[in-house]
Structure 1
Amino acid sequence: MVTANLLAATVFTPMLGRLGDLHGRRPVILGVLIVVLLGSVLAATTSSLPLLLAGRVAQAASFGLFPLAIGLLPEELPPQRLTGAMALVSGMLSVGAGFGLAVTGLLMRDGGDYHQLFWLAAALTAVGLAGVWLLPRRAGVATGGLDWAGAALLGLGLVLLLLPLEEGNGWGWGSVPVLGCLTGAVIVLVGVVRFERRVTHPLVSTRMLTHRAIVVANAAGLFLGFSMFAVFLAVSALVQTPPAVAGYGFGASVLAASLVYLLPGTAGGIISAPLGGRLVARFGAKSTLVIAAVLAGAGFTMLAALHASTWQVIVGALMVNTGVTFGYAALPALIVAQVEPAETGIANSVNSIARSVGMSLGTAFVVTMMTRNPIAGPVPLPRESQLVTVFMVGAALAAIAAVVVARALPRAQPPKLTVPEVEADEVYGAAGLDVPVRQP
């Protein structure tokens, strides 16, 4: 069910981002929410595995909401409020993921009925649907049509890439299906690049594939997705391990792992998401990304060295989650500054896919480490050194990300405005009018 949802999301997300650019974000968001609502209700009312899979596939359309929402903000907000708003919306991704884990721990304790989760998803989707209905409708900002051939090729390439990452532990990392899928992914994705260069209105312009700032932003998204799922899974495994058997851990229940050890980090996102927006506005997206990588690296390092006490695990996970939230806050501002308005939807969709690939890599890596050479017993348990390796790899990747972002991204130069220009911008913003764009 997890794999079906993720694979469907990789196909839907770029197509929905492009449709939003073409036809306006509001109608596409409404359509997405209706599909998600129907999928949630279907999953909540069935015990049939095929129908449950169908519901999960329909729910995968929700992955397209983020790039659509980011593309919607410049249409509805004055420029002086845009950076903070994008940071808040983006930062809420990690907050929502964390709260999802906590709510799951609450509802599923003592063998709860999984249908409750889908009813909750249906209720939240209905609330979102009512809110989006109140937004004004805006015309699309792109021309042309949807590149169906490019969408099909991109979807096939991403499915071939993500499928072995999700199933590699069961299939075997050196097996023919895994190696065949990865080889096919490389061939198809290279073909996508060559195909898109010849299309008048490509789904993904070659500029997005070669522009250094966008490439770095997608690499940063890959790292942030890896970090978010690596810390969730590794910390959950660490704190649930019984110390009497393994010599480490806390023997925590699923509920305690969610509420005590993971919830503080995700709840802190309510503060760190808007704070990330202020960092972007004050220091720029580049500096904020560097701060995010350094903070996440410090958190992983702390978890690798200090994990014998509850407070140490909570603080380490909090640092990693805060770094991820700061990074999520910086990425939309960085991407929107590098693409045309007609490309914001698809550009953020590609970045969302990069994060999804990172999540899959984080999941695959942690599961592989946990199941490799386990402690013998009725329930195989990971050795402490294996979880320490996960944290050390996270710290190393954070250091690489900080260096790459610091060296590869140019520093944006803010426009120097005169006092009359600043006063005029404030008047435009207060009146709800577009603030003139001034070049640095």
Structure 2
Amino acid sequence: MTTHLDTAVEAPSAQTGPATYSRLVLPAMAANVFLLSLIQTVVIPALPLIGQQLHTSATTVGWVATATMLTASAVTPLFGRLGDVFGNRRVILVALGLTLIGSLIASLGDSIGVLIAGRALQGASFGLFPLAISVLRHELPPAKIAHGMSIAASALGFGSGFALVATGVLTQNDGDYHRIFWLTVAATVAMIGLSAKALPRRAGLGGRVDYVGAVVLGAGLVSLLLPVSQGHEWGWSAGRTIGLFIASAVILLGFGLLQARSSSPLIKLSVLAHRDVLATNLASAFVGFAMFSVFLGATYFVQAPEALTGYGFGASILRTSVVYMLPGTLLAIPLGPIAGRYVVRHGARRVLLGSTLIGIASMTSLSLLHAHSLEFIVALVAANAAIAVAYAAMPALLVQHVAPQDTGVANSVNSIMRTVGGAIGSAVVISILAGSAQVFQTPGGPVALPSESAYVTAFVLGGIGFALAALLAAFGLRRDTH
């Protein structure tokens, strides 16, 4: 008996692809993925500065990062489905338009409330990843699809690294935090122009959009991510933290029942339950967890004053960005094409497995060898490479097992899993560092700084995240057919 899933698995090989295609499509989609990664990461190093310049507490300023993530969880699956049904070009331009409005609000506002509102609108940019992958599947010739998707997906790592560097440069010497949002304005305007020129006007594949399901899923994900991101401030045993976790479980269960009974579901649960799709999504969450263990742990570690703590390098924000983060960011530029070639020649599963093994080695090095700058930088470069290549392999894994009309939604779920993993990683690292803080006396007054063992724990947990992703690649995914 032939099931929908059997047809979906065979669909990519049966796809003929366009007879001609614009050579701007791949650069445009990679640039859009870069933009969403830039917007996600650019505020992280600047949160203390924003709090200082707006005279607000660390708890309140944390919503500058949280608001974007919450919007992303709500709109990403909806945008993916809208692109499949009505055409990707139209939905990409809408997502970019919302992102531009949010960037302008954040750039022009002078209060924390206005800034949070702007960041919430910027969350629309997260929908660009599944839309970009869907565009590449439908616009590139079959022989170029896997390579193209790997290049676009690798822009996630490059965008995050670039954001850390850019923030360090733009905010040095207590520079105005508005500068980082003017950067996102300029980048978004460029993406709108490039996307409008590169993308052909094509109709979608048709079908219906389950708007009720989108609302329910968004509510469930917001109920999950809100306590994950704020639990370290509210308290993990606080009533609202536990209540929201329970609410998320109930709502997401209700979403599953709703989708099972729907004739036009937002997400086909049978596709998500497929062994390879499930393993890829779980691997995305574990790599997302490891990514934030690296970025947050390393950023704070290198800025620790060694004279006080006995560890760290006393780096300024600018030195952190240029000396420690920039090398890995620059390496991510050629890694996309290289990873794409390996995916085509050796299969996405092997590429994912190899990248996670590199990630394990890098986190082991960060845990054990962090007394000297050079060894720390080498480990960071390896970790950046692992993250970029791992995410480069995942869209190709998904496309092998979902039908063309489900490409956007399937990659939306993968993107959500990455967001959930990153949110959990961020919360765990912050909780570990805050929980070990010791007070040191300085000429400027007392300063609370984490212990060295807390950073080691964070790096070890990042290594465990890579290890779990490696196990999924080795045993959860079926062997490549190459």
Q: Which letter does structure 2 place at the counterpart of 1:407?
A: F
Does residue 472 of structure 2 align to residue 404 of structure 1?
A: yes
Match of 1:328 in 2: 391
CA shift, 1:231, in A, is 0.4
Match of 1:211 in 2: 274
Q: Judge conservation of contact 2:71–2:123 (CA < 8 Å) in 1.
A: yes
Match of 1:201 in 2: 264
1:37-436 → structure 2 map (5 Å cutoff): 37-134=100-197, 135-143=199-207, 145-377=208-440, 378-414=446-482
For residues 336 and 293 of structure 2, the distance between their equivalents in structure 1, rounded to whole angstroms, comes to: 20
Match of 1:430 in 2: none
CA shift, 1:149, in A, is 1.3
For residues 102 and 133 of structure 2, the distance between their equivalents in structure 1, rounded to whole angstroms, comes to: 24
Q: Judge conservation of contact 1:71–1:345 (CA < 8 Å) in 2.
A: yes
CA shift, 1:175, in A, is 1.3
For residues 472 and 69 of structure 2, the distance between their equivalents in structure 1, rounded to whole angstroms, comes to: 28
Query: Which moves more between the two structures, 130-139 or 304-313?
Result: 130-139
Q: Which letter does structure 2 place at the counterpart of 1:71?
A: S
For residues 400 and 9 of structure 1, the distance between their equivalents in structure 2, rounded to whole angstroms, comes to: 25
Tell me the SS of whatever aligns to 1:376.
strand
Q: Which structure 1 segments of 5+ residues have no match?
A: 415-440
Tell me the SS of whatever aligns to 1:109.
coil
Q: C-alpha root-mean-square deviation of aligned residues, in Å?
A: 1.1
Q: Which letter does structure 2 place at the counterpart of 1:380?
A: A
Q: Which structure 2 segments of 5+ residues have no match?
A: 1-63, 441-445
Match of 1:25 in 2: 88
CA shift, 1:222, in A, is 0.3
Does residue 92 of structure 2 align to residue 35 of structure 1?
A: no
For residues 137 and 285 of structure 2, the distance between their equivalents in structure 1, rounded to whole angstroms, comes to: 25
CA shift, 1:314, in A, is 0.6
Q: Which letter does structure 1 place at the counterpart of 2:203?
A: A
For residues 53 and 251 of structure 1, the distance between their equivalents in structure 2, rounded to whole angstroms, comes to: 31
Percentage identity across aligned positions? 43
Match of 1:423 in 2: none
For residues 299 and 202 of structure 2, the distance between their equivalents in structure 1, rounded to whole angstroms, comes to: 44
Q: Judge conservation of contact 1:36–1:61 (CA < 8 Å) in 2.
A: yes
For residues 401 and 222 of structure 1, the distance between their equivalents in structure 2, rounded to whole angstroms, comes to: 8
CA shift, 1:54, in A, is 2.0
For residues 269 and 197 of structure 1, the distance between their equivalents in structure 2, rounded to whole angstroms, comes to: 41
Task: Render the CA deviation track for 1:102-149: whole Å, top value 9, x for unaligned.
Answer: 100000111111111111111111111111111211111241x22111
Tell me the SS of whatever aligns to 2:448.
coil
Q: Judge conservation of contact 1:21–1:140 (CA < 8 Å) in 2.
A: yes
For residues 278 and 344 of structure 2, the distance between their equivalents in structure 1, rounded to whole angstroms, comes to: 22
For residues 404 and 51 of structure 1, the distance between their equivalents in structure 2, rounded to whole angstroms, comes to: 42
Q: Which letter does structure 2 place at the counterpart of 1:4?
A: A
Matched length: 413
For residues 58 and 396 of structure 1, the distance between their equivalents in structure 2, rounded to whole angstroms, comes to: 34
For residues 469 and 158 of structure 2, the distance between their equivalents in structure 1, rounded to whole angstroms, comes to: 22
Query: Which moves more between the two structures, 29-38 or 352-361?
Result: 29-38
TM-score w.r.t. the length of structure 1 is 0.92
Task: Render the CA deviation track for 1:251-297: whole Å, top value 9, x for unaligned.
Answer: 11111111111111122100212211112111111111111110100
For residues 120 and 379 of structure 2, the distance between their equivalents in structure 1, rounded to whole angstroms, comes to: 34
TM-score w.r.t. the length of structure 2 is 0.84
